[in-house]
A = this chain, B = another copy of it.
Amino acid sequence: MGDNDGKVYRSELTPVDFLRRSAYMFPEHEAVVHGDRRYSYKELEERVNRLASRLRDSGLEKGDRVAFLCPNIPPMLEAHFALPAAGVVLVAINTRLGKDEVSYILEHSKSKMLFADKELEHLADDVDVEKILIHDTGEAGDPYEDYLAEGSPEPIPSVLEDEEEVISINYTSGTTGRPKGVMYTHRGAYLCALGNVIEAAMDYETKYLWTLPMFHCNGWTYPWAVTAIAATHVCLRKVEAPRIWSLFESESITHYCAAPTVQIGIVNADEAKKLDIHVRAMIAGAPPSPTLLSQLTELNIDPVHIYGLTETYGPITTSAPRKEWENLEMDERAALMARQGNAFVTSDLARVVDDDGNDIERGGETMGEIVMHGNMVMKGYLDNEEATEEAFEGGWYHSGDVALWHEDGYIEIRDRSKDVIVSGGENISTIEVEQAIARHDSVLEAAVVAIPDEKWGERPKAFVTLKKGKEATEEDIITFCKERIARYKAPAAVDFVDELPKTSTGKIQKFVLREKEWSGRESQVN
């Protein structure tokens, strides 16, 4: 409810209103569960009001940035409402970054304050910024709690004048170069949150488990989405499979989100068992393998495959299962479900384009780049006009993801542009090779990268982790692939490793694998 030139029929869209309404509607409904701590919606709103009023009293001005560096604990959720309520912009920092990166983000975003979990404080111990520590006790004596105690439990008046004002800045993981600050707006956050409510089919009875980091694309806007329907946020300090399985049952979880690698950890845990009530799992970050989709389904976890990027507030398209697939074999069905491309109800339709920005042929064999437009696209990169213009070339956001466009409208993501392997002039999708390997019974997870080759320029190499107690040889894997995909796409070499290098959000860091293979060379493209 911001200013709007006094129009009775218009309120500026802002997710802050979701909390106001849920607290009004269900004051006693459980808003937050964190171990033994439980807050009702009335209590959550009071805590948010305290933080907002305390921030405003501290001399911050509208548009100032305040950073948070903490795991999925209540203060992180509170920040998603208190900061925009105070007119302050939230900078949620990836907790698995190094000191240099944290410093860079604090400086680049010109953050005026930092709220840091005490376990992460060391990442910012030499940065000159006002700091409030969070001990995560919820008790007096915890600096964060004492800070809240100085605020007022009453709501402060909104200073929002235009729904296109920035609500938060999310830094890209920046596998190459410095991270960029992706700007989200109040309008975008509001609409994406409603889109997520609808695509995940959440309702007033939803119990949402916080497996996805809130610092990642503002938790795909779920802090706002879950609150919009007065559902329960179940916090999680650490992503550990035993704790997740225990919460599935004790808190009657209905929904969670995670990248495929996290999902793989969940389904392969010792505690995994078929659940009594169906749980909906939203999967994004990389295409889930048919194997993973089958495994989830068998445990009564209903997978919904979604896709997006930091620049699209997280997920922007879904893979809507079609009725006619229900009679297919699980393997074939899973392969269809692993595709993408149905825009969220709150987004414009996604397209796949060639180098000139024209739609590529549907059903063809040529790959193109996925581009997006509309209310689920970022406002731009903070203080980086050049990168913004490049990303928005031709009036569409360029994802950098390479895909096929099927005749039925689905998009099959084949690679990040930079990951595509060019072998003897042919493009090889690393994802296609990985998915072939993942079907092998012994394989837990696989990553494929290009390695230099004298004759072909590049060839694929696979890095593989095996399931507990299972075995396989390099030759097994290569032969297995040759039986399933074109022979030239099969890996030229296989390394068995204990674990794959991953980003904090569970994405495999292919650049780490690639760097090793290309070390000593000037370029990583042959």
Question: Which residues in A have some Cβ–Cβ distance to B below 8 Å?
Answer: 1, 6, 8-11, 13, 17-18, 20-21, 24-29, 164, 185, 187-188, 194, 197-198, 201, 203-204, 228-229, 320, 322-324, 342-343, 345-346, 348-349, 373-375, 377-380, 392, 395-397, 409
Contacts and interface: CB of A to CB of B under 8 A. Distances in A.
Contacts of A324: 28
B10 A322 contact: no
Given A8-B395, A9-B380, A194-B194, 8 more contacts: A8-B397, A9-B378, A10-B374, A11-B374, A17-B348, A21-B349, A25-B342, A197-B345
Given A6-B395, A228-B345, A25 B379 contact: no
19 contacts: A1-B374, A8-B392, A8-B396, A9-B374, A11-B374, A11-B375, A13-B375, A21-B342, A21-B349, A24-B342, A25-B342, A25-B409, A26-B320, A27-B409, A28-B322, A194-B194, A198-B229, A204-B320, A228-B345
Contacts of A373: 1, 8, 11
A188 B345 contact: no
Given A342-B25, A374-B1, A348 B197 contact: no
A385 B148 CA distance: 48
Most buried by B among A185, A188, A343: A343
Interface of chain A, main secondary structure? loop
A11 B348 CA distance: 8
Task: Give the number of copies in the complex.
Answer: 2
A9 B347 CA distance: 10
Contact of A20 (B349, B380, B392): B349
Contacts of A342: 21, 24-25
A449 to B, nearest CB: 32
B409 A24 contact: yes
Given A198-B229, A342-B24, A348 B1 contact: yes
A381 to B, nearest CB: 12
Contacts of A322: 26, 28
A9 B323 CA distance: 33
A493 to B, nearest CB: 41
Contacts of A194: 194, 198, 345-346
A24 B320 CA distance: 11
Contacts of A18: 345
Contacts of A377: 8-9
A377 B7 CA distance: 10
Contact of A229 (B27, B185, B345, B379): B345
Nearest to A380: B9
Nearest to A373: B8
A25 to B, nearest CB: 4
Contacts of A197: 198, 345
A336 to B, nearest CB: 14
A10 B343 CA distance: 15
A86 B480 CA distance: 56
A378 B7 CA distance: 10
Given A1-B348, A198-B229, A322-B26, A343 B8 contact: no
Nearest to A9: B377
Contacts of A6: 395
A9 B379 contact: yes
Contacts of A28: 322, 324
A101 to B, nearest CB: 26
A164 to B, nearest CB: 7
A9 B375 contact: yes
